[in-house]
A and B are shown apart, each in its own frame.
Chain A
C-alpha cells in the first residue's frame, strides 16, 4: 500500500513537473515572484512568533504587503495566461497597467499604515 502510494506520488510529481516545464517563461518569473513574496511573509510571521508582535501595525503592514503583492501577482498571472479563455480580449499591457495601479494603491496604504 505504502509503496504504491509513494509510486503514485512519484508519478504525480513527474507529471506535475513535466506540465510545469511547458509554461512560458514570463509566467515562471511571476511564479518565482509569488513564491518570494509568500516566503517573505512566512519569515515575518516566524519573526513575530519569536520576538512578539509589538508594533502591531508594522507587523500587519509587513505581512499584508507581502500577501497583497503575492495576490496581485497571481491575479496578473491569471490575466496574462494565454490558456485562460476568459481573458482573451484583455491585452497583457492593460493587465500589467492594472497590476501597477493596484500595487501603487496597496503600497501607498502600507506606507501610511506602517507608522
Chain B
C-alpha cells in the first residue's frame, strides 16, 4: 500500500512508487493465477463440467481445421437428425483466444496440447482481469484504490467459481473484456481522446465475441451517458466517449455471426440508439448556447422546443411501431427473464430448469463476495465525494449489477468486479485516513498539528467544526463499527482543499487509528482466508471426477469418464446415444458419439421429445428412441453412492419440458399428493416410466433392499425385467448406466400374419417407420 500515498514533492518517490506498484501488480497477477490452480493440484488437469467440454471440442476443431473451416462448421454429431451450425451459433471469442494462444505457443516451439492451453486460459485471463481492474479503479480514484481493488478481484470467490483452471467457459475471458471495456470508456471520458474511443470499441468487439453478457455494456454505457446529460454533466468528452463508441460498436457487433443483425434489430440495443440521438441534440444545444447570447438563446429554445417535440413524438412513434411489430417485443427470453424475474418460470421451463438461472439466496452473497458486501456501501459514499464522471459510472455499475445478480445467480459474476472496485476504493480511502493521522501524530508533531488546527483561519472554520463534531462523536460512540466511522470520515476528507488543510483537519486519535487499522487488516485477512478456502474446497471440483472423504479415506468416483471411454471403445462410430441434455456436450466431446440433444438448448421440441421418452412407459419410449435412430440410452444414477444431481432428481424437469410440448405427459401423474417420491407410495406412472426403470434396474441386487441414498428411501418397485432395453454397461459406482435398445422382436409366424394387417392400419407413422426397417416383417 506504500504506492498509494505518493508524495507530491519528490519525483524520486514517485518513481519509486511506480516501480513498487508495478511489482505489486505482477504479484497480484501471480496470485490470481495460482489461486486458481487448486483444481489441478487436487484433482488433475482436466476440463470441467459441461459447457467447457463443448468449448474444448470447438477449440480442437479450430486448431485442427483452421479458421475458415471453423466458421463454416456444420456439426452433424449433435442434435441428430437436425445437426447444428456451430460457426454461426457460438460466441467465438473464447475459442479464438485459446486457439491463437495455442498457435503462438507452438510457433515459439512450446509444444503444449490444446487441452493444456484450454485448462489454463481462465487463470491467465483472470490475471489480466485484475490488471484491468487496477486500470479501471485508477481512473476513478487513483492508483492506491486501484491496487487494492485488483488484489481483491484476484481472489473474489464469485469470479474464482467461473475461472478455476479447467473451467474453460465464456465467462473466463468475458469478465476481463467487460472490465477492460469499462476502463477504456472511463479513460476516454477522462481524456476525451479519439484514440481511446477506438480502443474502447475494439474491446467491446472482443466482449461481444466472448459472451452474451455484452448487452450489459451496451445498456450500461448509454444509461451513464443519459445520467450525465440529465444531471447537467454533459461535456464534449462525453460526446467523444459515447458517439463513436455506438457507431463503431454496433458495426463491430454486427460482424459477429451469432449477433449479426440483432445488433440493430432487437430491443436490447435500442437504448443505445435512443441515447445516441439524445446526445446529438444535447450537443447541438450546448454548441448553440456557446455561440449565442443569453437572450437570443431563450428565443431559440422556445422556437426549437415546439418543433423538437413534434419530431421527438414522430421518432418515438416509429420506434414503438418497430418494437411492437417484432415478436416478443424484440426482447429475447433470457433478457425478458432479467427484467421480469417470474417470466422464465412462467413460460420457458428450459431456462428455469438451469440451476444457475435461479435467483440467489442470501448466503450465496456471503459465499461469493464475502466481506465485500459490507465494504461496498462505504465505497459508494467515497465515490460521491467528490462525484466525478468516472465515479458516477462506477456507482451506476454497482447499482445495476446488484439488481441483476438478484435476478439470476449466474450474474453474481457481473457484480463481483463492481463490488471489488467499490471495496478497493473504500479500503484504500480508509487506510489513507488512518495512516495519515498516525503519521501526523508521531511523537513531537502531534501537539503541533492540534495547535495549528485550533488557530485555523476563517476559510476553513466550518469544515474544521464539522471535523471536531465528527471526532467527538467518534470518541463518544466508542467505535460502533469501524465501517460507520469510515463513512463519516470520507465525506469530510474529500472536499477539503488538498494537503495543508487536510493534514490539520483529519487527525484521529492515535490509538483509535491504530486499532482501526488493525481491524481493517483483520477484515482483509478474513477475506483472504475465506477466498482460499472457497478456491480450494468449494469451487475447484471438476464435477466429472468426484471425491468424497469417509472414515476409510478418500474415495474417487471417476464413473463418467469410465462410461464415456466404454462408449468410445465399444460402440460404432455412428451410433446415436440418447441422454438428458446435460450430458450431451460431454458425450460428443469425450465419447465422440452422436447425441440427440445437448446443452445448447436451441430446439425445445427436440428436448421435449427426449423428455417424453424418458417419462413414457418402456414400449412407447422404445418407439420414440427407435424413430430417432438411437442405439444406446445413457442415464446418470446417484442412488448407490449418494450423488444428488442425477437423472431421477432432474426427472420432474423432463416431465415438465416434455409435457409442455406433448400434452399427454402430465406432471400430476408423477406426483403423489403433490410430492415427488419413488418409494412404494409413488404413482404407477412414475414406477413404470423409462427413467425409473433404467435407473433402478437390478438395483435391489446391490444390498437386497434397494435403498436409495439420495432420496433416503427404499425404492417402490424392486424386481422387474426390461423388455425393450438391455443393460450393456454400468460403471463401477453405478453412476452411469448404459442401455442398448433391443432390436424389434421376431414374432411367431402365425401371429404376425394376423396382426400385420391390423397393426399397419392402426399404429402411428413412427411405428411404421420402424417396421419398414425390419426385413422379417
Most buried by B among A16, A61, A105: A105
B296 touches A98 (CB 8 A): no
Complex CA gap A40/B288 in Å reads: 24
Residue of A nearest to B299 (CB): A8
Q: Mark B295-307, 1 if CB is under 8 A from A, else 0.
A: 0100110010000
- For residue A33, give the distance in angstroms from its CB to the closest CB of chain B: 16
Most buried by B among A76, A90, A102: A102
B193 touches A72 (CB 8 A): no
B251 touches A106 (CB 8 A): yes
Q: Does B198 belong to the interface (CB within 8 Å)?
A: yes
List chain B residues, Cβ under 8 A from A29: none
Q: Mark B208-252, 1 if CB is under 8 A from A, else 0.
A: 000000000000000000000000000111011001100110111
Complex CA gap A87/B194 in Å reads: 12
A78-B240, A83-B290, A95-B194 known; A64+B299 contact, CB < 8 A: no
Most buried by A among B235, B248, B264: B248
B264 touches A60 (CB 8 A): yes
A106 touches B248 (CB 8 A): yes
Q: Does A86 belong to the interface (CB within 8 Å)?
A: yes
B239 touches A78 (CB 8 A): yes
Q: Does B202 belong to the interface (CB within 8 Å)?
A: yes
- How extensive is the interface on chain B, given as a class? 20 to 34
Q: Mark A25-57, 1 if CB is under 8 A from B, else 0.
A: 000000000000000000000000000000011
User: Which of B195, B252, B255 makes the CB contact (< 8 A) with A101?
Assistant: B195
A87 touches B192 (CB 8 A): yes
List chain B residues, Cβ under 8 A from A110: 251
- For residue A32, give the distance in angstroms from its CB to the closest CB of chain B: 16
Complex CA gap A48/B291 in Å reads: 36
Residue of A nearest to B198 (CB): A102
B291 touches A20 (CB 8 A): yes
Q: Mark A6-33, 1 if CB is under 8 A from B, else 0.
A: 0011011001100110000000000000
Complex CA gap A93/B235 in Å reads: 22
A16 touches B291 (CB 8 A): yes
Complex CA gap A110/B248 in Å reads: 9
Q: Does B764 belong to the interface (CB within 8 Å)?
A: no
User: Which of B202, B261, B291, B303 makes the CB contact (< 8 A) with A9?
Assistant: B303
B296 touches A12 (CB 8 A): yes
List chain A residues, Cβ under 8 A from B239: 74-75, 78
List chain A residues, Cβ under 8 A from B202: 105
Residue of B nearest to A69 (CB): B247
B243 touches A71 (CB 8 A): yes
User: Which of B197, B247, B252, B303 makes the CB contact (< 8 A) with A12?
Assistant: B303
Complex CA gap A78/B293 in Å reads: 20
A109 touches B303 (CB 8 A): no
List chain A residues, Cβ under 8 A from B641: none
User: Which of A8, A60, A98 makes the CB contact (< 8 A) with B194?
Assistant: A98
- For residue B626, give the distance in angstroms from its CB to the closest CB of chain A: 44
List chain B residues, Cβ under 8 A from A64: 247, 250-251
Residue of B nearest to A7 (CB): B299
User: Which of B236, B250, B300 makes the CB contact (< 8 A) with A78?
Assistant: B236
B254 touches A113 (CB 8 A): yes
List chain B residues, Cβ under 8 A from A95: 194
A98-B193, A102-B198, A102-B244 known; A86+B235 contact, CB < 8 A: yes
- For residue B204, give the distance in angstroms from its CB to the closest CB of chain A: 12
Q: Mark A79-115, 1 if CB is under 8 A from B, else 0.
A: 1000110110010000100110110011001101100
Q: Does B292 belong to the interface (CB within 8 Å)?
A: yes
A64-B247, A68-B251 known; A75+B299 contact, CB < 8 A: no
- For residue B624, give the distance in angstroms from its CB to the closest CB of chain A: 40
List chain B residues, Cβ under 8 A from A90: 192-193
List chain B residues, Cβ under 8 A from A102: 194-195, 197-198, 244, 248
User: Which of A5, A15, A68, A109 makes the CB contact (< 8 A) with B293?
Assistant: A15
List chain B residues, Cβ under 8 A from A11: 296, 299
- For residue B260, give the distance in angstroms from its CB to the closest CB of chain A: 9
**How many residues on A have C-beta within 8 angstroms of the other chain's C-beta atoms?**
39
Q: Chain A's interface: helix, strand, loop or mixed, by majority?
A: helix
Complex CA gap A19/B291 in Å reads: 6
Complex CA gap A11/B201 in Å reads: 43
A79-B194, A86-B236 known; A57+B254 contact, CB < 8 A: yes
A84 touches B236 (CB 8 A): yes
List chain B residues, Cβ under 8 A from A71: 243-244, 247
User: Which of B240, B248, B255, B264 makes the CB contact (< 8 A) with A112?
Assistant: B255
- For residue A28, give the distance in angstroms from its CB to the closest CB of chain B: 13
- For residue A37, give the distance in angstroms from its CB to the closest CB of chain B: 12
B303 touches A8 (CB 8 A): yes
B255 touches A75 (CB 8 A): no
List chain B residues, Cβ under 8 A from A57: 254, 261
Complex CA gap A112/B733 in Å reads: 54
B261 touches A56 (CB 8 A): yes
List chain B residues, Cβ under 8 A from A83: 290
Residue of B nearest to A76 (CB): B194
A68-B248, A105-B202, A106-B251 known; A74+B243 contact, CB < 8 A: yes
| A and B contact pairs by CB, cutoff 8 A, 17 listed | A8-B303, A12-B296, A15-B292, A15-B293, A56-B261, A57-B254, A74-B243, A75-B194, A86-B237, A87-B192, A95-B194, A101-B195, A101-B198, A102-B244, A105-B202, A109-B252, A109-B255
Which residues of A does B touch, CB under 8 Å?
5, 8-9, 11-12, 15-16, 19-20, 56-57, 60-61, 64, 67-68, 71-72, 74-76, 78-79, 83-84, 86-87, 90, 95, 98-99, 101-102, 105-106, 109-110, 112-113
9 nearest A-B pairs in the assembled complex, by CB-CB distance: A98-B194, A19-B291, A68-B247, A78-B236, A98-B195, A71-B243, A102-B198, A8-B299, A15-B296
Which residues of B does A touch, CB under 8 Å?
192-195, 197-198, 201-202, 235-237, 239-240, 243-244, 247-248, 250-252, 254-255, 261, 264, 283, 288, 290-293, 296, 299-300, 303
